[in-house]
Structures are given as C-alpha cells and as structure tokens.
C-alpha cells in the first residue's frame, strides 16, 4: 500500500524540518496536565495530542463528538444519544447493555473518572489531552488503549468572565457562562454553567414528531482554590450533570425517519466532588493528592421493535430499559521528586491509587421464554488498589532513560437476581520504558516499549440466559479474562523557535493478548439476543500517526493530522460458528485525516476551514456490517469587535450520512425479518450563529 510510505515520508520530513529549525532557547507552552510531572508535550515520550480552547473554537465544537474527528487514530461509537464509547488505534468498546464494561479508553475530567459516562459540556474547556497507546503506568486499568484527560478552567487572580450563546438549525440552542476571580491573595474561585438543547435529527413518522431523539443537557462545574500556606495549596472541585435526552435513532427503513410508538430515553444525572492537595514543603519531593467521589444514575431504554402496533401481522412490540446506579470513591496521591538543578540527577515519582466502585443495574424487558414482562437485577462491587512509580535516569548529554511500573489488583463481588454470586480477582501489571534523546527543549526523539492491561469480569447476561435452560451453551461464557496489550513505538517531535512549524509523528506496533471482544448469540433468529464478552486469543494493531502545524504566512496557518492503521483479529470463532479469525478489528478505519486552516483576513475577521476524512470500518467483531467512507467539511467566519465575537458556522456542510453505530440482523416484519445493516447516523448538515462577550 502506497499510502503508508507517503504519510511516513511527510511526517518524518516535517518533524525533522522542525528539529532543524528549533532552538535551545525556545519554550514550549503546552504542558500536559495528565502527565505525572506535568511536563511539556515536546519532552514526553508517547503519542499525545493536545487541544486548547482555540482548537475547539476553530471547528465550532459544542460536544466531544464534534472534536474527535480531528484526532489521528481516534474513533467513537454511539448507540446512545451521544458518542459515549471511544476507540484509539482500533481498540475500545462500542456499547454497554447488561454487563458492566471495562473501558479500554477512559475519560478524566479534572482528575475525576468519568469512564463509560462520556462528557456533556465542553464550553469551559481549558485543555483536552488525548493519550494514544497503553498508559497503565499513568492511569491504570482504564487506559489499555489510551486516555482522554480534560481540564476545565479554574480560578484567576483577577475577574474574568464570558457569556456565549448559539442558535442553530434543528431548534438547537446553547447558552454558556463562565466567571472566575479571587477574593484575596489566598482564595480564588471559578464557576461555569452550560445548557444545550436540540430537537435532534430524527423525524418520527408514526408519532408525527421531530424531537424523539432530542438533546437536553445541563452542566455545572465549580472550583475553589485556597493557598493555605506558602507550601500548601488546596482545591475543591464540584461537578453537576443533568442529561435528559431522548433516544430514537434506528429506523426500519434505514434512514433518519423512525416508526417507533414508544421512543426511548438516555438520561444521566451525576454529581461529583473532589479535593486536591499540593504540598511543596518536603525537602525531597512534592506531594500531590486527590480524593474524589462521583455518583451517577442512568435511565437508558429504547423501543426494541423500532415500530408501532399494527405495522404487520407478524409484528412484535417490546421495550428494553436499563436503570443504572454508579457510586465511586477514588484516592490517588503521589510524591514527585524535587529537582535540585543537577543535570545528572535522577527524577522519580512514587504513587498509590485506591478506588471502590459499585454498579447496580435493573433491567426491565420482555422475557420471550416466559412470555411476560420481566426484570433482571445485578450488583457489582469492585475494589482496585495499585502502587506505581516512574524513574527518569540521565545517561549523557541529551539522552535519558524513563522507566515506569504499576502493580494493580482488583477484587470483584458480583450477584444478580438469577441467584449467581461470583467473586473474581486478579493482579495485573503495566510498564513503560523509553530511550529519549532530547535534542533541545523543543525537539525529542524517542523509542518506547509499554505494557497495558484491563480487568476481566462476569457475563451476567450469559449466566441469566443459561439459567433459563434454553441457552446452556452460554455456561462456558460465565466470565472473561483480563486483556493485555504490548506496544512498541518510535516517535519524533519538534517545533521551530518562531513556532512556524510544529510536528509530531509516531509509528507503533501493538500485540493484544486475550483480547476482549463482544459476542452475541441469537438462537432462533428472533428478537432474543444474549450478549457476552469473549476472549479472542491475540490481535495485531500497527500503524502511524502524525500531527503538524505550519505557519505558511503571518495571516495563514495550516493544521494537518493523519493516520494509517492495520488491525487483525486472532483466532475468533463465534458460538454461532462464524469464523472471523484474521479479519480486521471493529471500529478500526485504515486511514483518517484532518486538514484545517486559520486565515486572518483582517485583525477583526477570521475564516476557518476544516476537512476530516475517515475510511470505512467494521461495526462489530461478530458480523461483517461496515460503515461508509466519509468526508466532513466545516467552515467558520468570525468577527471580533472589542469584547464581542460574532460567528457564522457550518458542520458537515456536504450533508453526508455518517454511521456511528451499526448492527446486522433482521427486525422488520414487513420483509419476513430479513437481516439488514441498520445504522445510527451522526448529525447531518448543521449551520448556526454564535455570539460571545468576554470581560
């Protein structure tokens, strides 16, 4: 394939061009908040993308979904009102039904674990970091394939505020406000509020409504910072999320027109609290710690038949509803060595992580074996404990060796209404070692090897179906093992003194051992499915990713990111006898690219243009349904007037149908339940106007 050498040549040439024009005195401004030492992105081994507030504005992004297309080797799946399940380098989950998922890609917001819940508002984003590849040493079991780390805006020394409003098609509205200040030299605060609403992009022909897949989301975040002493800084963080969205996304006619008589819902109400401490009074190290608590209640359900009573004599009419409650308490603290100005001195980090999480589920569904409404209740309590560390050892001028290790144990206590009571536990370990050559402050060449992991678990749905007696073959799928990921990576990063060139490129090869895949059993080709997580032997994922920024002219900047990815399933034969061994993995497009420009026409007038493209990919590891290749075109014209900014924008200007979740089965009684590819589509053509006032 010629595309790989082309991308590799472009990426390496631009990276070394940046190295050649860099300088010892250049200062990189992008500090990675999720790093153990919070270093510059140009001084960290590993493939890391950093998005600032300006990057969000460039694409008129209102939600995480709108941002993900610009990242190389990042994909996502919906199956809900929003994209909630993220894949990096082809690895990640696609849904969560009966069984509690173990995320391969986690999400942190201000250090609080939102993995599996997704992100609602991003209007107060200060920085978003995308870590690609196994990050067990930094983040543990929820970072098998990577991690998204979002930092919201915090207190400021002087009063700062912003109010913004957006109106767009499909009756979309967004109102956001942020304010920060300090009461005195020791006490500061920040507050951000956001409300989003939209009718959604679905027409329900049976109910004659256009809002059955609506968006109604509120997000509130606040921070209180207290400088208790010269050496001790305390921060109190609070989050509130109230998501009351509809869910009516799949159509029997395989378009944006549904026939549901009982549209579903996708509701999440969560609250979180965290206390963060930084103490620099020790002679040998700085202490950093955070204690966080999160509670979330979810109500997710849908019209299982996607139709109405009376559509056909062979019809069925059922709904499926999942009521979830999640509570978690997490403690993470570490000691970071204090540098003494000696170039030959080792730098170290030593930390401890403890978490307790409980997941309670009540599923309300139609039991086809009993031919009556039924419910299934399960409870999972998981305790994690880990110790981790990292050591940076200088070798000689510019060379260093960075090594990290994390040991983690989890203990699961599972029970359900089918009289199952199972205890699982395992001890896992992750590691990283990199040989780095720091050319200067702006340029790095590295060779990295890392090992990641994620926990195993219990297949409660399989156990329940096996207990019914009709699906005894599911007894062999009662539980699944942890997965391990090995990664080898070579990377080059560089930026010029005048920031006219910034380039990063990484080539990687990953080996998945006991890879976890989602399997389904449909014994009678009817509406009854049994889902379970299976281990599919091994898998391969390898490729390349790059990100470049070029200042072509004082008034024109170009942003380029691209990736090429090759994946392969190990030996995997489903319970239905389908052999997918050797096939490409799900949610793993072979190529992705993103082009964007900033054209400063005048001091007040700016034009942004963006184009993202993605190859087709399989929707699942258990069937051959594929998405379509697509291109996303966006544009934004903004005018700055004193403290005001006015903007006109469009997303998906070509109005392409972009699949974000897909299934392959029969669900239409009008054609005798013949199997089809059913897809959920992302937003169609969007256009709107935004205004903001900053003070």
CATH number (domain holding residue 344): 2.40.170.20
Does residue 162 fall inside a structural domain? Answer: no
Per-residue pLDDT at 577: 79
Q: Average pLDDT for residues 13-29, to the nearest whole number? A: 51
Q: What is the mean pLDDT of the chain?
A: 90
Per-residue pLDDT at 76 exceeds 60: yes
| Full domain range(s) for residue 200 | 3-23+35-155+171-694
Per-residue pLDDT at 576: 72
- pLDDT tens digit sequence for 366-418: 988 788 999 999 999 999 999 999 999 999 888 999 999 999 999 999 999 98
Q: Which residues contact 602 (CB under 8 A, 6 or more apart)?
A: none
Contact 546, 491 (CB under 8 A): no
- pLDDT tens digit sequence for 512-534: 999 888 777 665 545 566 778 88
Q: Comparing 25-29, 430-434, 522-526, 529-533, which segment has the lowest mean pLDDT?
A: 25-29
Residue recorded with tokens 């909630």:
84
Per-residue pLDDT at 466 exceeds 90: no
Portion of the chain with pLDDT greater than 90, in percent: 74
- pLDDT tens digit sequence for 555-574: 999 999 999 999 998 888 87
Per-residue pLDDT at 621: 87
- Rounded Cα distance between 618 and 498, Å, is 43
- pLDDT tens digit sequence for 289-304: 999 999 999 999 999 9
Per-residue pLDDT at 27 exceeds 80: no
Per-residue pLDDT at 502 exceeds 80: yes
Who has greater pLDDT, 315 or 538? Answer: 315
Contact 514, 483 (CB under 8 A): yes
Strands 105-109 and 146-152: parallel
Residue recorded with tokens 């006898």:
577
Q: Average pLDDT for residues 245-252, to the nearest whole number? A: 97
* Number of domain units in the chain: 1
Per-residue pLDDT at 343: 53
Per-residue pLDDT at 369: 79
Nearest CA among 258, 59, 57, 60 for reference residue 168: 60
Contact 391, 378 (CB under 8 A): no
Contact 539, 515 (CB under 8 A): yes
Per-residue pLDDT at 458: 87
Task: Fill in the DSSP letter of residue 8.
Answer: H
Q: Comparing 336-340, 429-433, 480-484, which segment has the lowest mean pLDDT?
A: 336-340
- Rounded Cα distance between 679 and 618, Å, is 12
Q: Which long-range contacts (CB under 8 A, 24 or more apart) does 63-69 make?
A: 63/119, 63/120, 63/121, 63/122, 63/196, 64/118, 64/119, 64/122, 64/148, 65/682, 65/683, 66/651, 67/122, 67/128, 69/592, 69/594, 69/612, 69/614, 69/632
Q: Average pLDDT for residues 343-347, to the nearest whole number? A: 74
Q: Average pLDDT for residues 465-475, to the nearest whole number? A: 63
- Rounded Cα distance between 94 and 78, Å, is 7
- Rounded Cα distance between 130 and 146, Å, is 7
Contact 580, 620 (CB under 8 A): no
Phi first, then psi: what are they for 16, rounded to 5°?
Answer: -75, -25
* 3-state helix/strand/coil string of 417-428: CCCCEEEEEEEE
Per-residue pLDDT at 574: 75
Per-residue pLDDT at 28: 45
Task: Fill in the DSSP letter of residue 334.
Answer: E
- Rounded Cα distance between 279 and 335, Å, is 10
Task: Fill in the DSSP letter of residue 527.
Answer: S
Per-residue pLDDT at 1: 44
Does residue 226 fall inside a structural domain? Answer: yes
Per-residue pLDDT at 3: 44
Per-residue pLDDT at 101: 84
Per-residue pLDDT at 460: 82
Per-residue pLDDT at 368: 84
- pLDDT tens digit sequence for 607-643: 999 999 999 999 998 889 999 999 999 999 999 999 9
The tokens describing 654, both together, are 């070509």
- Rounded Cα distance between 659 and 173, Å, is 24
Nearest CA among 215, 233, 214, 235 for reference residue 224: 235
- Rounded Cα distance between 360 and 351, Å, is 30
The tokens describing 561, both together, are 């990111």
Does residue 164 fall inside a structural domain? Answer: no
Name the pLDDT band for 340 (thresholds 50, 70, 90): low
Portion of the chain with pLDDT greater than 70, in percent: 92
Per-residue pLDDT at 20 exceeds 80: no
Does residue 294 fall inside a structural domain? Answer: yes
Who has greater pLDDT, 112 or 100? Answer: 112
Instruction: Compute CA distances 658 → 258, 292, 593, 632, 634, whole Å.
Output: 17, 37, 15, 9, 14
- pLDDT tens digit sequence for 129-154: 999 999 999 999 899 999 999 999 99
Does residue 571 fall inside a structural domain? Answer: yes
- pLDDT tens digit sequence for 148-192: 999 999 999 999 999 999 999 999 999 999 999 999 999 999 999
The number of residues in the chain equals 695
Q: Comparing 6-10, 163-167, 270-274, 335-339, which segment has the lowest mean pLDDT?
A: 6-10
């Amino acid at each position: 394939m010629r595309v790989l050498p082309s991308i590799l040549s472009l990426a390496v040439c631009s990276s070394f061009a940046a190295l050649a024009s860099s300088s010892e005195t250049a200062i990189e401004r992008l500090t990675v908040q999720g790093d153990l030492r919070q270093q510059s992105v140009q001084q960290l081994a590993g493939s890391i993308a950093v998005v600032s507030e300006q990057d969000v504005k460039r694409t008129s992004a209102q939600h995480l979904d709108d941002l993900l297309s610009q990242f190389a080797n990042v994909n996502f799946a919906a199956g809900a009102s929003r994209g909630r399940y993220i894949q990096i380098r082809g690895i990640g989950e696609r849904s969560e039904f009966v069984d509690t998922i173990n995320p391969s890609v986690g999400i942190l917001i201000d250090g609080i674990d939102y993995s599996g819940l997704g992100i609602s508002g991003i209007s107060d984003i200060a920085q978003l970091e995308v870590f690609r590849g196994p990050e067990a040493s930094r983040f543990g079991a929820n970072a098998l394939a990577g991690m998204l780390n979002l930092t919201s805006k915090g207190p400021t020394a002087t009063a700062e505020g912003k109010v913004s409003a957006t109106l767009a098609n499909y009756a979309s509205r967004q109102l956001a406000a942020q304010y920060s200040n300090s009461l005195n030299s020791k006490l500061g605060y920040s507050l951000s509020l956001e409300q989003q609403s939209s009718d959604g992009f679905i027409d329900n022909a049976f109910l004659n409504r256009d809002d059955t897949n609506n968006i109604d989301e509120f997000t509130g975040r606040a921070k209180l910072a207290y400088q208790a002493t010269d050496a001790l800084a305390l921060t109190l963080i609070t989050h509130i999320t109230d998501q009351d969205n509809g869910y009516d996304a799949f159509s029997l006619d395989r378009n944006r027109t549904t026939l549901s008589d009982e549209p579903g819902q996708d509701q999440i109400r969560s609250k979180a609290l965290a206390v963060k401490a930084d103490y620099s009074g020790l002679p040998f190290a700085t202490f950093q710690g955070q204690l966080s608590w999160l509670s979330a209640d979810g109500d997710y359900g849908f019209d299982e038949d996607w139709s109405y009573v009376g559509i056909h004599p062979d019809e069925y009419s059922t709904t499926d509803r999942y009521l979830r409650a999640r509570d978690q308490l997490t403690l993470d603290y570490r000691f970071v060595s204090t540098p003494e100005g000696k170039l030959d001195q080792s730098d170290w980090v030593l930390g401890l992580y403890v978490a307790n999480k409980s997941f309670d589920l009540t599923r309300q569904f139609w039991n086809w074996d009993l031919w009556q409404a039924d419910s299934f209740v399960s409870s999972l309590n998981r305790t994690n404990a880990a110790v981790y560390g990292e050591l940076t050892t200088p070798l000689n001028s510019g060379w260093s060796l960075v090594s990290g290790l994390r040991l983690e144990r989890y203990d699961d206590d599972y029970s359900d209404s089918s009289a199952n009571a199972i205890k699982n536990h395992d001890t896992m370990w992750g590691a990283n070692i990199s040989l780095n050559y720091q050319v200067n402050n702006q340029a790095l060449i590295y060779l990295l090897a890392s090992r990641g992991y994620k926990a195993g678990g219990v297949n409660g749905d399989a156990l329940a179906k096996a207990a019914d007696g009709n699906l005894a073959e599911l007894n062999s799928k009662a539980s699944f093992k942890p997965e391990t990921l090995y990664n080898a990576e070579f990377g080059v990063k560089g930026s010029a003194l005048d920031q006219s060139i910034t380039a990063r490129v990484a080539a990687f090869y990953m080996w998945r051992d006991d890879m976890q895949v989602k399997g389904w059993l449909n014994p009678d080709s009817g509406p009854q499915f049994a889902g379970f997580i299976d281990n599919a032997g091994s898998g391969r994922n390898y490729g390349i990713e790059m990100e470049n920024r070029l200042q072509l002219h004082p008034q024109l900047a170009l942003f380029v990111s691209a990736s090429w990815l090759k994946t392969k399933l190990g030996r995997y034969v489903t319970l239905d006898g389908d052999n997918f061994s050797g096939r490409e993995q799900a949610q793993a497009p072979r190529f992705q690219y993103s082009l964007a420009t900033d054209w400063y026409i005048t001091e007040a007038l700016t034009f942004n243009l963006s184009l993202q493209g993605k190859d087709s990919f399989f929707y699942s590891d258990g069937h051959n349904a594929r998405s379509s290749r697509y291109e996303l075109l966006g544009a934004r014209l903004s005018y700055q007037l004193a403290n005001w900014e006015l903007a006109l924008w469009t997303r998906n200007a070509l109005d392409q149908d972009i699949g974000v979740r897909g299934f392959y089965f029969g669900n239409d009684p009008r054609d005798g339940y013949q199997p089809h590819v059913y897809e959920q589509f992302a937003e169609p053509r969007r256009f709107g106007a935004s205004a903001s006032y900053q003070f």
